[in-house]
């Protein structure tokens, strides 16, 4: 069976940016930045993306394209054995847990989109089912005709919607107050916790640490320049996060709402904001469409990790793999959703929060550390160099910098997240 491949270079960037740009950018980044020192947080976050995010993304690219396979298969092909199976297995497990709660929130995006459009929406479980249905539809079309084509259409649309919302928000009276809230640097707020929040956010938002970029890289051709792909994906992702903040806060402040609502900001406060804004009904539809596009192009990439694994390691057809992964995702998403009203809690924490906690504090950092340590210390340097040089000319200094970073700074940085997760400090 011929390996699935993406068709064009632009398509690869759109698909990977589609995965990166998601709820993490539009829902999570704005309130994190607002609460944690505005411009100062932005600076810390950009440092995390440059120093840790991009090197880890490059590592996933190298492993995925060199190993030409899913998280388990690529590690087996590079290491020539099963010693690193645990790393692939963590990625698959992580993707199952993240997909469960990600789908719940994607279901909310469906709900609010329908509400803003028709004034009514079905029950929550049906919204989750619709979100999954969109995933199945896109993934069912395959890698090139599904993931790549759909992302190539939807990502530019997302940017257009975002710019329209930014213009609307900035032209409201007193929009400066929101801009100040988002950008005015308050360095006194930069504590260790804030550094760690920025680091976790950079992982989640760049879709790292669960074999997602690795799986997409297995579909890249040798002509694809890995450096410029990583740089473009990280830039688009950061730009969208900042613009999302600019679309949200000036409107929130201008219409007299409170910005300190944390995660509820988007789903509780924004509908009210749109309600009281001139032309708000139209902008409400546009905003929730934008959120839905961002969520769906990410959700497909999470499910693709599992589909590729079943398809390549267990010789299951893509359609059969889709059926299985969809059934598991739906069951777990329903349990997560039920846990939100306080039931199904273990040790005082609901299932939704458990999945989020386990993946962001342990599984994602663990697999990222595994990838960089493997490439940095176990895999022949010559092979990595050769892989990175395919599709990009020379630049030995860049390669050396990357190698040094993934051997030292990245593992150390991630190890600190671990210790923090374990409550050591």
Examine residue 24 and tell whether it contacts ligand PFF (CB under 6 A).
yes
Nearer to ligand PFF, 254 or 367 (CB): 367
For the chain, first and last CA: distance in Å?
50
- CA-based torsion, 130, 350, 414, 196: positive or negative: positive
Least CB distance to ligand PFF at residue 395 (A) = 27
Least CB distance to ligand PFF at residue 24 (A) = 2
Interface characters, 345-384, with ligand PFF (x: CB under 6 A) = ----------------------------------------
Other beta carbons within 10 Å of 372 = 25
Interface characters, 289-328, with ligand PFF (x: CB under 6 A) = ---------x--xx--------------------------
Examine residue 18 and tell whether it contacts ligand PFF (CB under 6 A).
no
Query: CA 101 to CA 337: how far, in whole Å?
Result: 8
| Largest Cα span, the chain | 63
Among 13, 14, 20, 217, binds ligand PFF (CB under 6 A): 20
Least CB distance to ligand PFF at residue 396 (A) = 31
Candidates 204-212, 258-266, 309-317, 323-331 — which segment interacts with ligand PFF by CB under 6 A? 204-212
Nearer to ligand PFF, 25 or 116 (CB): 25
Number of residues that bind ligand PFF (CB under 6 A): 15
Nearer to ligand PFF, 109 or 302 (CB): 302
Candidates 21-29, 147-155, 161-169, 313-321 — which segment interacts with ligand PFF by CB under 6 A? 21-29
Query: CA 388 to CA 372: how far, in whole Å?
Result: 15
Residues of 172-182 as b/e, b for ≥16 C-beta within 10 angstroms? beebeebbebb
- The interface with ligand PFF within residues 138-157 (CB under 6 A) comprises none
Burial class (CB in 10 A: 0-12, 13-18, 19+), 63: buried
Torsion angles phi and psi, residue 152, rounded to 5: -65, -30
Among 11, 22, 53, 411, binds ligand PFF (CB under 6 A): 22
Nearest to 7 by CA among 161, 150, 135, 116: 150
- The residue behind tokens 């962001």 is 360
Strand partners, 350: 345
Nearer to ligand PFF, 127 or 297 (CB): 297
Candidates 134-142, 203-211, 244-252, 264-272 — which segment interacts with ligand PFF by CB under 6 A? 203-211
Among 13, 17, 23, 333, binds ligand PFF (CB under 6 A): 23
Examine residue 25 and tell whether it contacts ligand PFF (CB under 6 A).
yes
Least CB distance to ligand PFF at residue 262 (A) = 17
Three-state secondary-structure class, residue 72: helix
Least CB distance to ligand PFF at residue 425 (A) = 26
Nearer to ligand PFF, 205 or 311 (CB): 205
- CA-based torsion, 128, 302, 91, 41: positive or negative: negative
Examine residue 207 and tell whether it contacts ligand PFF (CB under 6 A).
yes
Cβ-contact 15, 150 below 8 angstroms: no
Orientation angle between helical segments 71-79 and 54-67, nearest 10 degrees? 70
Distances (CA, A) of 192 to 196, 231, 235, 424: 6, 27, 25, 13
Least CB distance to ligand PFF at residue 363 (A) = 11
Query: CA 357 to CA 352: how far, in whole Å?
Result: 9
Least CB distance to ligand PFF at residue 210 (A) = 5
Query: CA 251 to CA 269: how far, in whole Å?
Result: 11
- The interface with ligand PFF within residues 43-102 (CB under 6 A) comprises 98
Query: CA 69 to CA 194: how far, in whole Å?
Result: 36
Nearer to ligand PFF, 21 or 388 (CB): 21
Q: Which residues neighbour 265 within 8 Å (Cβ) at sequence distance 6 or greater?
A: 27, 30, 31, 248, 252, 259
Examine residue 30 and tell whether it contacts ligand PFF (CB under 6 A).
no
- The interface with ligand PFF within residues 209-268 (CB under 6 A) comprises 210, 212
Candidates 156-164, 200-208, 309-317, 397-405 — which segment interacts with ligand PFF by CB under 6 A? 200-208
Residues that bind ligand PFF (CB under 6 A): 19-20, 22-25, 98, 204-205, 207, 210, 212, 298, 301-302
């Amino acid at each position: 069976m011929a390996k699935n491949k993406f068709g064009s270079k632009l398509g690869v960037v759109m698909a990977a940016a589609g995965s990166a740009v998601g709820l993490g950018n539009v829902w999570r980044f704005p309130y994190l930045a607002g609460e944690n020192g505005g411009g100062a947080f932005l600076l810390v976050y950009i440092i995390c993306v440059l120093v840790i995010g991009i090197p880890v993304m490059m590592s996933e690219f190298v492993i995925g394209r060199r190993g030409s396979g899913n998280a388990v298969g690529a590690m087996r092909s590079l290491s020539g054995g099963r010693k690193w199976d645990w790393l692939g297995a963590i990625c698959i497990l992580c993707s199952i847990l993240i997909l469960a709660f990600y789908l719940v929130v994607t279901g909310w995006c469906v709900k609010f989109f329908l509400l803003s459009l028709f004034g009514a929406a079905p029950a929550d479980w049906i919204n989750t089912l619709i979100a999954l249905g969109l995933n199945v539809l896109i993934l069912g079309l395959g890698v090139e005709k599904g993931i790549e084509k759909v992302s190539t259409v939807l990502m530019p649309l997302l940017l257009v919607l975002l710019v329209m919302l930014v213009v609307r928000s900035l032209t409201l009276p007193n929009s400066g107050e929101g801009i100040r809230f988002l950008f005015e640097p308050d360095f006194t707020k930069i504590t260790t916790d804030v550094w760690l929040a920025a680091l976790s956010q950079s992982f989640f938002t760049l879709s790292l640490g669960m074999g997602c970029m690795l799986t997409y890289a297995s579909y890249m051709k040798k002509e694809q320049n890995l450096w410029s792909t990583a740089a473009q994906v990280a830039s688009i992702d950061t730009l969208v996060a900042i613009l999302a903040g600019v679309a949200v806060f000036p409107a929130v402040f201008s219409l007299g709402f409170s910005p300190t609502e944390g995660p509820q900001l988007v789903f509780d406060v924004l509908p009210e904001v749109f309600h009281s804004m001139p032309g708000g009904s139209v902008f409400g539809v546009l905003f929730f469409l934008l959120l839905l596009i961002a969520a769906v192009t990410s959700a497909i990439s999470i499910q693709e990790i599992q589909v590729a694994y079943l398809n390549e390691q267990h010789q299951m057809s893509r359609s059969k793999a889709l059926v299985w992964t969809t059934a598991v995702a739906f069951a777990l998403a329903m349990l997560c959703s039920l846990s939100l009203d306080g039931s199904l809690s273990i040790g005082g924490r609901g299932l939704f929060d458990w999945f989020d906690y386990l993946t962001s504090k342990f599984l994602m950092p663990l697999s990222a550390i595994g990838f960089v340590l493997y490439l940095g210390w176990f895999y022949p340097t010559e092979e990595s160099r050769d892989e990175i040089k395919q599709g990009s000319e020379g630049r030995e200094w860049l390669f050396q910098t990357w190698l040094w970073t993934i051997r030292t700074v990245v593992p150390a940085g991630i190890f600190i997240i671990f210790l923090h997760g374990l409550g050591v400090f």
